[in-house]
Structure 1
């Protein structure tokens, strides 16, 4: 049943767009009752997000041998996911719902964002092991530096993000993460205050 709901949601988003999508349409297309959908999803935005973005597994982390290479590979993979017309329609709606729905926010944090931050933790751990970073950096901070910038460019500033910008974002995140690691290493236990 879950597959039918998600498939129907994706098809309808492609056909009518997210703003015109209704739970009734999805229920009819999937051949299920609305109650079955609402047992699984708190809202249309959550259902659509799950169907178009969350259901896609994160790209497997293979490692490129450098912090910059790893961040560039990651941001390129996310750019493909985040720049689709469906993602550009859905993500702002989902962000709005997260602000007013603590239960949905907790699910989002515990599933989607936790998986993304685990990927950043692995990248940072490998960079520390290779000696590229003076020490560990909070994966959530690395996440904000790279994917937060990409999300802002796509969903808030509505910029035409191309590979040149994606490459610049990876370079900036690499520099920022490296600087934070250096600051934390010089001032362990303290805040990362520049000198």
Structure 2
């Protein structure tokens, strides 16, 4: 949507507390929201890092005034959280038929997301900026990562309860053993192949060492 101006809005800004909000009674323009978020995603796809983006540059790419951006988001970190949510998906639904199948579903979710250019570009940029943007990283972790890790931990705890998995390994560490290889390939090695069947291979390889044999 770069270069296409969203529906025009008055450029006045009303401040209410720490965040910038629309004046009472004025409806928020969904087209402008979409244009701004799409502009950020396009800039990331073109190779810009989060650190290189400014609200002015984002507004120019979206074809809106800077005040239109600030009316919706108090700053860049707040905007980036909404950008993350725009490419985020709900945690995958698990069947519960077996620990193995549920783990494959969780790992496959990461693989499929990594194949989507927008998601992988955004995630790599977020990680690259984590040291310089600790608040953004913390918010991203709380918004996205925590739910993923909690789901995997519950699958593993269920496996321990049923006696399928060893109980002498901390579920937090155990989750990293299953999820880590796919994250490494998808985020730290962007040119690495992510073929069909990779999720099953990872899960089965780790399971060989952590099953109880029952």
Same fold (TM over 0.5): yes
Query: Could you tell me whether the CA contact under 8 Å between 1:27 and 1:33 is conserved in 2?
Result: no
Cα distance 1:134–1:144, how it changes in 2: closer, same or farther (>3 A)?
Answer: closer
Q: Distance in 2 between matches of 1:136 and 1:6?
A: 49
Which entry has the higher C-alpha Rg, 1 or 2? 2
- Residue 151 of structure 1 is aligned with which of 183, 192, 200? 183
Q: Distance in 2 between matches of 1:82 and 1:44?
A: 22
Cα distance 1:93–1:58, how it changes in 2: closer, same or farther (>3 A)?
Answer: same
Instruction: Tell me the TM-score normalised to structure 2 length.
Output: 0.66
Deviations 1:104-123 (A, max 9, x none): 22212322121011101210
Residue of structure 2 equivalent to 1:173: 206
* Structure 1: gaps (5+ residues): 183-195
SS in 1 for 2:131: helix
Q: Which moved more, 1:8-17 or 1:106-115?
A: 8-17
Q: Distance in 2 between matches of 1:149 and 1:6?
A: 36
Instruction: Tell me the TM-score normalised to structure 1 length.
Output: 0.71
Cα distance 1:2–1:141, how it changes in 2: closer, same or farther (>3 A)?
Answer: farther
* Displacement after TM superposition at 1:38 (Å): 3.8
Higher normalized helix content (fraction of residues): 1
Deviations 1:100-155 (A, max 9, x none): 22212221232212101110121012111221023274343233223321121123
1:52 aligns with 2:87: yes
Alignment: residue pair count: 177
Q: Which runs of 4+ in 1 moved over 3 A?
A: 1-16, 25-32, 43-48, 136-140
Residue of structure 2 equivalent to 1:129: 161
Query: Could you tell me whether the CA contact under 8 Å between 1:58 and 1:116 is conserved in 2?
Result: yes
Please tell me the root mean square deviation across aligned C-alpha atoms, in Å: 3.4
Deviations 1:19-39 (A, max 9, x none): 368521565469971213542
Query: Could you tell me whether the CA contact under 8 Å between 2:178 and 2:203 is conserved in 1?
Result: yes
Q: Distance in 1 between matches of 2:205 and 2:161?
A: 21
Residue of structure 2 equivalent to 1:99: 131
Q: Distance in 2 between matches of 1:105 and 1:26?
A: 24
Q: Distance in 2 between matches of 1:30 and 1:80?
A: 36
Q: Aligned runs of 1:1-195 on 2, under 5 Å?
A: 1=28, 7-8=34-35, 11-12=38-39, 13=41, 17-19=45-47, 22-25=57-60, 28=63, 33-39=68-74, 41-42=76-77, 46-53=81-88, 56-65=89-98, 67-135=99-167, 137-157=169-189, 158-176=191-209, 178=210
* Displacement after TM superposition at 1:95 (Å): 0.2
